[in-house]
Structure 1
Amino acid sequence: MKVILFGASGMVGQGVLRECLLDGDVEKILVIGRAPIAIAHDKLSEIILPDLSSLASHTDALQGYDACFFCLGVSSAGMSEACYSALTYDLTLTIAKTLAACNSGMTLTYVSGAGTDSSEHGGSMWARVKGRTENALLRLPVKAAFMFRPGIIQPMHGVVSKTRSYRVFYMFAWPLLPLLKRIFPKYITSTEQIGRAMIKLARYGGPRQVLETADINAV
């Protein structure tokens, strides 16, 4: 299986990249991002794009891939709906449409978040935008599309969040997370489980297109 990964420097993306590198059935990983990652591996190649909306200029390098794991995202804190939509909806759809045109047999997996609003009309701005993005991705002409809605994510194997507030949260919550995960398995997943679930769904498919935390863990 050949995989394209966006957001490899983020917390979820780091975990997904690790699982792809470890999985024997993943033969090639193309990381696309604004800056290089500090990892060298025989499976790994990169396209550095300061402007990700220009992905269409690299269509020759995007051919022949089986899956895209889209882990790229920004916090909505302090952003207007227009700005958040431009980064979350417009950019994501620009990238996804380019990939779909190059690989109609591709499986696309997108990370949104617990509480995403599929109706697109709720009171939470970020949830509306994420819901609109999910709905648009599910309509794309690809082999399959899966929307991941994780709640609390436990970073594993040295994975670190780029967001300072998240790093502080995990610093204090880390000792309790394994216990909380046993008590509340429907609400807590891990970077390892997310990565493994993405690979398994890309390989075998699944009956559910929108996966909450419990669904991710079950896969």
Structure 2
Amino acid sequence: MNVIIFGATGMVGRGVLRECLLDERVSAVLAVGRSPTGIDHPKLRHIIHGDLLDLASIEERLTGFGACFFCLGVSSAGMREKDYRHITYDYTMSVANTLARLNPGSTFVYVSGAGTDARGRAMWARVKGETENALLALPLEAYMFRPGFIQPLHGVTSRTRLYRLAYVASRPLYPLFRLLFPAAVITTERIGQAMITVAERGAPKRILGPADINAL
């Protein structure tokens, strides 16, 4: 299958990209973003594009793909709802609407988060919940990935300084977390593998938590 990845330079996206390049089920990968991934691979092509609200100039290069793995996202810490919504909802729906028109019926996997709720009290949970609902209404095979605690593997790191520090501090506790909460802890490797599996044969439900992702 041919796959598009948005957010391939972030922690989750980089892990997903690694698995796509390693997996024989994936024939070609297109990474779209503001900057290149820095990875050179026969299966990988790049489109450097800064404005996800206007994809007209690159539309012809977005056709013929069976799946999109949308890993783009930001932390809501310190952000106003308007700004967070602009990145989380507007960017995602611009891409999804375009792909629904260009590749109807294709798979769209969205990285959401545990606790997402369109009626929730937390701002980030509401915005992500509204994004999920809008995606599920499109003519796409849309799946929402809601990972909990993510363990980065194979040299993958977060671009957010606060998250990097938290991961370094908690690294000695990973084995304990996995022992006590095996269904809740997930890795960047497993997220990538699960996305490919979903694109290949679907999943029993459209909203998938950590245990579902690990099972896939």
Same fold (TM over 0.5): yes
Report the alpha carbon displacement of residue 26 of structure 1 after superposing the two structures with TM.
Answer: 0.5
Q: 1:191 aligns with which of 175, 181, 188?
A: 188
Superposed counterparts of 1:1-219, under 5 Å: 1-117=1-117, 120-142=118-140, 144-219=141-216
* Counterpart residue type for residue 21 of structure 2: L
Report the alpha carbon displacement of residue 179 of structure 1 after superposing the two structures with TM.
Answer: 2.6
Per-residue deviation, residues 48-82 of structure 1 (Å, max 9, x unmatched) = 01212222321110110000000000111111111
Number of equivalenced pairs: 216
Q: Measure, in 1, the Cα distance between the counterparts of 2:169 and 2:119.
A: 35
Q: Measure, in 2, the Cα distance between the counterparts of 1:56 and 1:140.
A: 19
Report the alpha carbon displacement of residue 86 of structure 1 after superposing the two structures with TM.
Answer: 1.0
Q: TM-score of the superposition, structure 1-length normalised?
A: 0.96
Work out whether residues 56 and 98 of structure 1, in 8 Å CA contact, stay in contact via their aligned partners in 2: no
Once structures 1 and 2 are overlaid, which stretch shifts more, 159-168 or 124-133? 159-168
- Unmatched 5+ residue regions in structure 1? none
Work out whether residues 189 and 217 of structure 1, in 8 Å CA contact, stay in contact via their aligned partners in 2: yes
Q: TM-score of the superposition, structure 2-length normalised?
A: 0.98
Report the alpha carbon displacement of residue 175 of structure 1 after superposing the two structures with TM.
Answer: 1.8
Matched position secondary structure for 1:175: helix
* Counterpart residue type for residue 114 of structure 2: A
Please report the RMSD computed on the Cα atoms of aligned residues, expressed in angstroms. Answer: 0.9
Report the alpha carbon displacement of residue 186 of structure 1 after superposing the two structures with TM.
Answer: 2.3
Instruction: Find runs of 4+ consecutive structure 1 residues off by over 6 angstroms.
Output: none
Matched position secondary structure for 2:53: helix
Q: Measure, in 2, the Cα distance between the counterparts of 1:186 and 1:56.
A: 42
* Counterpart residue type for residue 3 of structure 1: V
**Identical amino acids, percent of aligned pairs:** 59
